[in-house]
Structure 1
Amino acid sequence: MTGSVSLRGFGWRPLGRRSSVVADLDLRIEPGERVLLAGPSGAGKSTVLRAAAGVLATAADGDLLGEVETVGRVGLLLQNPGDAGVADRLGRDVAFGLENARVPRDAIWPRVRAALEAVRLPYGIQHPTSALSGGELQRAALAGVLASRADVLLLDEPTSMLDDANAEAVRHCVAEVVAETGATLVVVEHRLAAWLGHVDRVVVLGRDGAVVADTDPATFAETMRDDLASAGVWMPGAPAPVAAPPPAALVTPRDPAPTLEAVALSVDLRRSDVRGTTRTPALREVDAVLVPGAVTVLGGPSGAGKSTLLAMLGGLQRPTSGEVRGLGVPPHRMRSRALAAVVGWVPQNPEHGFLTTRVRDEVAATSRQVGAVVDVDAVLAHLGLESLAEVNPYRLSGGEQRRLALAAALAHRPPVLLLDEPTVGQDRGTWAAVAGWMLAAAREGAAVAAASHDGVLAARADHLVRLAGGRNAEPARTAEDAR
C-alpha cells in the first residue's frame, strides 16, 4: 500500500507571529504521486511537510487550523539535517528509525549499508557522526529515511548542501527507491530544474502560503517561467538574478581589511568516548589567501573541508599544524570580542549563532558588544526581514534564519566576512539580497569568503579555492578562468 496526503483548510500561525505562514490551504496528494513543492523563501513549504508528517504541533507552538490526513508510514527529511542526528556513530544513526519500527535485527544492517551506499557516503558504520560535514549529514539523514521504506517520503531540500555530482546521485537514488517501493513522494527544493524529470506534478506556493500553480512539469517549465521567476521561483531557463547591493553605509568596513592567509593548514578532528580517541583528518596542508576588496569562494565536493577551512580562518578552531596569518596573532588565540570586531562569521547552521529571542535584538547583539552603531531597520529591510523584527528567531523559516544569521554576524561591518553556505534556502529575490551584501562589502574594501556549492555565486566571485579530500585540489583561480 502506498500513502496519501490531504490538507483541507489548513493553516498555521506560529506563536508570536501576527499573520499565518500558511492559511486556508487545500491540497491533495494521491497514492504514488511524485510532487515537487516549490515557492519563495518563507512561503510555508517546510510547514506543509511537517504538518503532513504529523510533527508540526509537537515540534513548535502555534495555532493549527483545518484538517491534515496522512495515510501510510511517513519518512521525513528535515531541512536542517543536524536536527535528525541521534547517535554518535553513522550506522546507529541510520538504524535508529528501523530499530524503533521493530525491524528484525538481521534485516536492519543490510538495509543500513545499502542506504549508505545509495547516498554515496563512503564511510563505515562506526564512523563518528561528529566528523561529518553538513552535506554528509544531509546524506546520512536521507539514508535513514530511505532505509525506512516509508509509504510517504517527505524530503525538505535533500540536495541543498551538496555538490552537483552528489546531488545528482541523491536524486537518482530517491527515484530508484520510489520506483521500487511505489512510495508517494513530496520533495521541497528551491533549485527546481534537476528534479522535473523525477516528478509528475509541480505545486507552487506563493508568499502567503496559497497555491499559485499546480500542474505537470512540462507545462510548468514551458508556460510559467517569467511570472514565477519574477515571484522569486528558480525557474528553469530563467536568467540568473542580478545581485542587489545594500547602501554602502551598511557594509563599508569600520576598519581596513587585512590580507588573511592560511599556510600549510592541517586539522585533525578529535573525538573521545569510552572506546578511546578517534582522529579524523579534515585538512591537509591547505593554502588559501583572502585579499581585501575581493570575494573568494571555497568550492569542492561535500566533505572536502570547506567549512573547516572557513572556521580556521575565523579562529573558531585550533589548527593541528600550519597557521593563519594576517591578524597579528593567530585568530584562535584572540579574545572573543576582539575577534568578532574583525571577523564576521555566518555559520552553516544559523541556529548555532542565535543569542536572543527577538529578530531585532539578534541583529544588534554583536554590534552592541563591539561598540558599533547599527541601523537595524535598514539591515532588516535589505534582507526582507522587516516584517519579522519582533519574531523569535527560532520561529523563522530556514531561509529566513540564514538571512538573519548573516545580519547578526555582519551588521557591525567587520573587515573580514566568512560565510558558510550563505545562499542555501534562498529564492531568487533573497539570493540577490545575500549576494548583493557580499559583493558590495568587497567593493567597499572587505575581504569576503564563502564556502558554497552555488555555481551562480561562484560565477560572481573574484577568486576560487577548490578543495578535495581535505587538500588543495588546484591553485586558486579567478571566476573568469572557471567559466
Structure 2
Amino acid sequence: MTGSFTLRGFGWRPLGRREPVVAGLDLRVEPGERVLLAGPSGAGKSTVLRAAAGVLASTGDGDVLGEVWAEGRVGLLLQNPGDAVVAERVGRDVAFGLENAHVPREEIWPRVREALDAVRLPYGTGHATSALSGGELQRLALAGVVASRADLLLLDEPTSMLDDVNADAVRRCVADVVAATGATLVVVEHRLEPWLAHVDRVVVLGRDGAVVADTDPAKFVRALSGELTAAGVWMPGVKAPEPVEPPEALVQPDGPAPQLDAVALSVDLRRSDIRGATVSPALRDVEASLVPHEVTLLGGPSGAGKSTLLAAFGGLRRPTAGEVAITGDHGDRRFRGSGRRRRRGAANRVSMWSLRSRELAPLLGWVPQNPEHGFLTTRVRDEVAATAHRVGATVDVDAVLAHLGLDHLADANPYRLSGGEQRRLALGAALAHRPPVLLLDEPTVGQDRGTWAAVAGWMRAAARAGATVAAASHDDDLAALADRVVRLDGGRVAVAAPAEEPR
C-alpha cells in the first residue's frame, strides 16, 4: 500500500483561540508523490502534517474543522525531536514503533541498526538518548520513521538543526527510502533549495493557511521567486534579508556588560549504556571569550559541543575542569558581596558557575534550544513580562511582541503556538528585561525571512547597545552577521576568529 491524504475544508482552532490557525484548506496528496510544503512561520504547515497523521483530534487541545482522510501506514517526524523520545537507549527508542506495530522479533534489530546507519547516527544501540545533542535527536527521530517503512512519510523540518554535511546525508537517506519503498513523502522546511532536487511538487501556504502556490519545483523557482520572497519564503538564490533592529530602548542593557572567559574549560557527560556507566567528554580544554559589543557565533557539526559550551558560559553547566569567569564592572557591582568566589589575584573576576539563580536572572538572558522548556505562564503577554517583573525591570510588552511578530497572539497560550512562534516567544521572554548577557541556542530555527530578520536584528541591536551576545547555530546567514565565530569539533575549538564578513 502507498500512502495518501486528503484535506477538504480543513481547519484547526487551538484551545483558547478565537480564530483558527488554518481554515477552509483543500489539499490532496496522491500516492507516491514527493511534496515540499513551505510557507511563512505560523502558516499551519506543522498542523497539516499532524492532521494527516491523525494526531490533532486525539490531543484534545483544539477543534478540527472540515474533513481529513489518510491511507496507509504513517510515519511522522515532529518538529521538536525531543518530544518523540520514549526510551533511555537509542536502540530501544527506534525499536519502540516496530514493537507496537507487531513486527516479528527477528526483524526488529536488523531494521533498527539499518535505520541508525542510514541517518548517520554515530553511536551504538546502547547509547543513552539523554546524552544526544539536538541535531542527534533529530536523526534519532528520523531513524524511527525510516525503520517503520511507512507508506506516508511526514517530516517536519528534519534538517533544521543539522550541519551541512549531516543535513545532506539525511536528505539522501530520505530520498533512498522513498525510492526503495515507493512511499509518499511530505516534508516541511523553511530552507527550501536543498530539497528541490528530491521532490516533484511544491505547495506553499500563505499566512492565513491558504494555498498560495502549488506547482513543480522548476516553475516554483522560475515564476514565483519575487512574489514568494516578498511573502517571507526562503527562495533559492536570494540573499538573506537585512536584520530589522528593534528600538534601542528594548535592548539597552541594564548596566555595563561583562566579559566571559572560558579558561581551560572541560565538561564531561556521564552516560549509561548496556555495558554500564561511562564518562565521555563534551568539551576539552576550551579557551574562548565572549565580549561586550560583539555577537559571537558558536558553530561546528552536530554534537560538537556548541550547546554545552553555551550553557557553560551561562553558568548552567558545571565544568569538570577549568572555569568560566565573569569579568568587568557589572560583575563587581552586582556581586560585591561574593568575595569568596573571586579568583585569587584577579580583580573583578567571579566564577560564573558559583552564581545563584537570583544573581543570574538579571544578568543573563537564556534562550534554550527547546523553547517550551522556559515557559512559565499560560498567556503570551504574561510570558514576556514574567522575568522582567521578577527582577524589577520595566518592559514594553506590546513593543516586544510587535517586533517579534507575535502581537496578534498576545492572549494565546504559549503551548498552542507554532514551533517558530514559540522560539520567538522564548527570545522575547528571556530578553525583555534587557540583560547584559544574551545566550541563544539555535534562535533562527523555524523562521521565515521576515521573522529571521527580527531575531537577527535583536541580537545585533543588543550588541551595538553594549550587550555580550552569543548564539549556538548552524545558520550560515547568522554566522555572516557575527563579529566573531568560534567553531567546535569533537569538543575542542577548531577555529576562533573574526567572522569573514562581519556586518
Q: TM-score per shorter chain, which class?
A: over 0.9
One-letter amino acid of the structure 2 residue matched with residue 479 of structure 1? A
Could you say which residue in structure 1 is the equivalent of 2:16?
16
Is the 1:131–1:280 Cα contact (8 Å) retained in structure 2?
Answer: no
Is 1:396 the equivalent of 2:417? yes
* Matching residue's letter, 1:427: D
CA deviations over 1:236-276 (Å, ceiling 9, x no partner): 11221110000000001001011111111111112569975
Amino acid at match of 1:229: T
Task: Sort the Cα spacing of 1:482 and 1:432 in 2 relative to 1 into closer, same or farther, 3 A.
Answer: closer
Please give the alpha-carbon distance, in whole angstroms, between the structure 1 residues aligned to 2:395 and 2:455.
18
Report what 2:93 is aligned to.
93
Task: State the Cα deviation string for residues 73-126 of structure 1 (Å, max 9, x = none).
Answer: 000000000000000000101111011111111111111111111111110000
| Paired positions, count | 482
Query: Where does 1:223-372 land on structure 2 (aligned, <5 Å)?
Result: 223-271=223-271, 276-326=276-326, 327=331, 328-372=349-393
1:126-170 CA-partner distances (Å, limit 9, x unpaired):
010011000000000000000100000000000000000000000
Distance 1:60 1:243, change over 3 A: farther
Once residues 283 and 94 of structure 2 are traced to their aligned partners in structure 1, the CA distance between those partners, rounded to angstroms, is 26
Task: Note the C-alpha offset of 1:368.
Answer: 1.1
Question: SS at the partner of 1:218?
Answer: helix
Following the alignment from structure 1 to structure 2, what is the Cα–Cα distance between the partners of residues 58 and 134?
Answer: 27
1:416 and 1:60, CA in 2 relative to 1: closer, same or farther beyond 3 A? farther
SS of alignment partner, residue 459 of structure 1: helix
Give, in whole Å, the separation in 2 of the partners of 1:346 and 1:242: 22
2:5/2:28 contact within 8 Å kept: yes
> Which one-letter code corresponds to 1:477 in the other structure?
A
Please say if residues 36 and 188 of structure 1, whose CA atoms lie closer than 8 Å, have aligned partners that are also in contact.
yes
- One-letter amino acid matched to 1:375: D
Distance 2:24 2:121 in 1: 41
How much does 1:67 deviate? 0.7
User: 2:345 aligns to what?
Assistant: none
Aligned 8 A contact 1:383 1:403 in 2: yes
Q: Which residue of 1 aligns with 2:429?
A: 408
CA distance in 2, matches of 1:79, 1:255: 37
Q: Which residue of structure 1 lines up, in the alignment, with residue 172 of structure 2?
A: 172
For 1:480, the equivalent position in structure 2 comes to 500
Does the C-alpha gap of structure 1 residues 79 and 177 become closer, same or farther in structure 2, counting only changes over 3 Å?
same
Structure 2 distance, partners of 1:178, 1:482, is 41
Structure 2 equivalent of residue 4 of structure 1: 4
| Distance in 2 separating the partners of 1:180 and 1:153 | 13
Q: CA, structure 1 residues 353+60, in 2 after alignment: closer, same or farther (shift >3 Å)?
A: farther
Q: Deviations over 1:263-299 (max 9, x none)?
A: 1111111256997533232111111110100000000
2:212 is aligned with 1:215:
no
**In the TM superposition, what whole-angstrom CA distance separates every residue of 1:34-73 from its partner, at most 9, and x where no partner exists?**
0000000000000000000000122251111111100000
Structure 1 spans left out of the alignment, 5+ residues: none
- What's the CA shift for 1:430? 0.2
- Supply the distance in 2 between the matched residues of 1:197 and 1:53 (Cα, whole angstroms): 25
Aligned position for 2:206 = 206
What SS is found at the alignment partner of 1:27? strand
The answer to whether the 8 Å contact 1:463/1:478 transfers is yes
Q: How does 1:48-87 map to 2 (within 5 A)?
A: 48-87=48-87
| Aligned equivalents of 1:330, 1:272: Cα separation in 2 | 30
TM-score normalised to structure 2 length? 0.94
Aligned 8 A contact 2:483 2:502 in 1: no
- Distance in structure 2 (CA, Å) of the matches to 1:59 and 1:44: 17
SS of structure 1 residue aligned to 2:285: strand
Aligned match for 1:430, one of 421, 428, 451? 451
Coordinate RMSD, CA, aligned: 1.3
Aligned letter for 1:469?
Answer: G
Q: Is the CA contact (8 Å cut-off) linking 1:225 and 1:237 kept in structure 2?
A: no
- Rounded to whole Å, the distance in 1 between the matches of 2:27 and 2:359 is 52
Kept after mapping to 1: 8 A contact 2:202/2:213? yes
Q: Secondary structure at the match of 2:425?
A: helix
Match of 1:421 in 2: 442
Give the equivalent residue in structure 2 for 1:373.
Answer: 394
For 1:351, the aligned partner's letter is E
The verdict on how the C-alpha distance between 1:481 and 1:21 changes in structure 2, with shifts beyond 3 A counting, is closer
Q: Deviations over 1:3-52 (max 9, x none)?
A: 11110110001011111100000000000000000000000000000000
- Look up the match of 1:453: 474
Gaps of at least 5 residues in structure 2 are: 332-348
1:370 is displaced (CA, Å) by: 0.9
Mapped contact 1:226–1:238 kept (Cα < 8 A): no
- On the 8 A contact 1:199/1:217 being kept in 2, the answer is yes
Q: Which residue matches 2:32? A: 32
Instruction: State the 1:317 CA deviation.
Output: 1.5
- Alpha-carbon distance change, 206 to 59 in structure 1, aligned in 2, over 3 angstroms: same
Match of 2:337 in 1: none
Partners of 1:232 and 1:60 in 2: CA distance: 31
1:340-368 per-position Cα deviation (integer Å, ceiling 9, x unaligned): 11111100000000001110111011111
Matches within 5 A, 1:159-198: 159-198=159-198
SS of residue paired to 2:424: helix
* Partner AA of 1:41 in structure 2: S
8 Å contact from structure 2 (residues 3, 31) kept in 1: yes
Contact 2:485 2:499 in 1 (8 A): yes
Q: Deviations over 1:299-319 (max 9, x none)?
A: 000000000000000011111
CA contact (8 A) 2:482 2:502 kept: no
AA of the residue aligned to 1:421: E
User: Contact conserved, 1:266 with 1:283, CA < 8 A, in 2?
Assistant: yes
Q: What amino acid does structure 1 have at the position aligned with 2:38? A: A
SS in structure 2 at match of 1:187: strand
Question: Structure 1's 275 and 114: CA in aligned 2 closer, same or farther, altered over 3 A?
Answer: closer
8 Å contact kept, 2:365–2:431: yes
